[in-house]
Structure 1
């Protein structure tokens, strides 16, 4: 497996160090089909697992979970285009995300498993529809239009806030109107580290929300997926995300599902060890 550049970094701080911490993080780059540079990190040993993160996030959000996943898998986590260590391109749609995942699967090698979270799960679903997948497809709360459009008419206001530079207001608008968090929960979310991490990335969510709604409410086409598939959902998540996961179980042939009690859309951050165990069980089939 090769990359344009690699460096061993401390798994906790991300700073270069001569003494590798277990499990260490190895950074590298690869190119997507349109020439876009994708930055990623590799961590652990064992079967390959490519991880595709969600909206308003970077691959670094998965550092806590990969600390535990790395005990069983060689994790490959890329920054999706337009953020973090990755470049971007003027042309964007869901097919470019599929090409990016294909580039990462090539880095990971034959038989790699594929995990997607939130919008990243929508991207991995599109990948599994278009390209063969020998490993297990793991989907953590994909946002599907089970209750109508995810963004709908609210997208126009979100775009206005982003264009005006009110990224803080845009994030609040999105969490209430798209993620369906109750407004009274927003002050508590503001106090978490996730808020400051997400705010600068709100502009990338515009085009992703467009793609989510463009997929429509018809989910039957996912029945063409042949890869072994497992869904993960938190019982404490918002209703449409929970239903999205459970609806897919009845559509994708042979799919299974694990509910994580009292956890939500950020279970991989709040309970990384439990989440890693769930992924391992999904891959092993028990």
Structure 2
């Protein structure tokens, strides 16, 4: 498959619980596995991967329940960590790992467990690390109930307001956007993202077990609570670098982010 001039090879790997995980690869160089966040599949990480492909062999994948990957009940964060482990095993023992948002938390937890990661990059892991924002107890259950009742649009709206912090009036306007139906298609995975994130604060002890070189990135356009979370995460990981890049709300353009990741990870 070719997308924007980059050729991607699609394959699958089987996770520890037997779930099939679909992934695609492109580029040449040391492998890097990209772990997406909410409303992400391998298609949404592809633009970053395409820029990284000049320096890395990029692995982008569909997290369980998304795209062409399977799903196995009951959901557990540990199963998603096992998915990352399966991708790292396929990629080889000199792999880098990048995670966005809830995917950054998964990437951090996988690395803390001692999986073979050469270097780690985390983009705005949404921990509750200060007085701003943060997850709400019971949100995952409420999201699951809405999806089970067929109210996928309401689940998307609830996640955007309560988890992301988008103003309700902005969410109302988003319902008419072309991408809303695509977001509804991923509504059943929002409870997964919320479970990954949790609401108990910064897991400093767990993050303190990370021993590989790590960079934590924040966008200049993100709200204070996400920037605080990134800084606190960097502070909890021994020797981690805290990096701020020009960008928008919870995003930095690939042409800005990719060179910064290359410099931080490859030196």
Select 2:57's aligned residue among 74, 83, 97: 74
- State the TM-score, normalizing by the size of structure 2: 0.91
Distance 1:254 1:238 in 2: 25
Unaligned runs of 5+ in 1: 1-8, 13-21
**Residue 38 of structure 2 contacts residue 193 of structure 2 at CA under 8 Å; is this kept in 1?**
yes
Alpha-carbon spacing, 1:283–1:188, altered in 2? closer, same or farther (3 Å) = farther
Moved over 6 A (4+): none
**Residue 85 of structure 2 contacts residue 115 of structure 2 at CA under 8 Å; is this kept in 1?**
no
Cα distance, 1:40 vs. partner?
A: 0.2
Match of 1:34 in 2: 17
The number of residues matched between the two structures is: 264
**Residue 132 of structure 1 contacts residue 227 of structure 1 at CA under 8 Å; is this kept in 2?**
no
Select 2:219's aligned residue among 234, 238, 242: 234
Distance 1:86 1:134 in 2: 23
Alignment of 1:94-173 (within 5 A): 94-146=77-129, 147=131, 150-173=135-158
**Residue 97 of structure 2 contacts residue 120 of structure 2 at CA under 8 Å; is this kept in 1?**
yes
Cα distance, 1:87 vs. partner?
A: 0.7
Cα distance, 1:210 vs. partner?
A: 2.7
Match of 2:192 in 1: 207
Cα distance, 1:34 vs. partner?
A: 1.2
- State the TM-score, normalizing by the size of structure 1: 0.85
User: Residue 236 of structure 2: SS of its match in structure 1?
Assistant: coil
Select 1:258's aligned residue among 217, 239, 243: 243
**Residue 97 of structure 2 contacts residue 117 of structure 2 at CA under 8 Å; is this kept in 1?**
no
**Residue 46 of structure 2 contacts residue 60 of structure 2 at CA under 8 Å; is this kept in 1?**
no
Select 2:2's aligned residue among 10, 19, 35: 10
User: Residue 281 of structure 1: SS of its match in structure 2?
Assistant: helix
Match of 1:276 in 2: 258
Distance 2:88 2:114 in 1: 11
Unaligned runs of 5+ in 2: none
Match of 1:6 in 2: none
Select 1:220's aligned residue among 193, 204, 228: 204
Distance 1:83 1:235 in 2: 29
Distance 2:88 2:16 in 1: 13
**More displaced stretch, 38-47 vs 229-238:** 229-238
**Residue 27 of structure 1 contacts residue 41 of structure 1 at CA under 8 Å; is this kept in 2?**
yes
Q: CA RMSD in A?
A: 2.0
User: Residue 135 of structure 1: SS of its match in structure 2?
Assistant: strand
Distance 1:266 1:197 in 2: 19
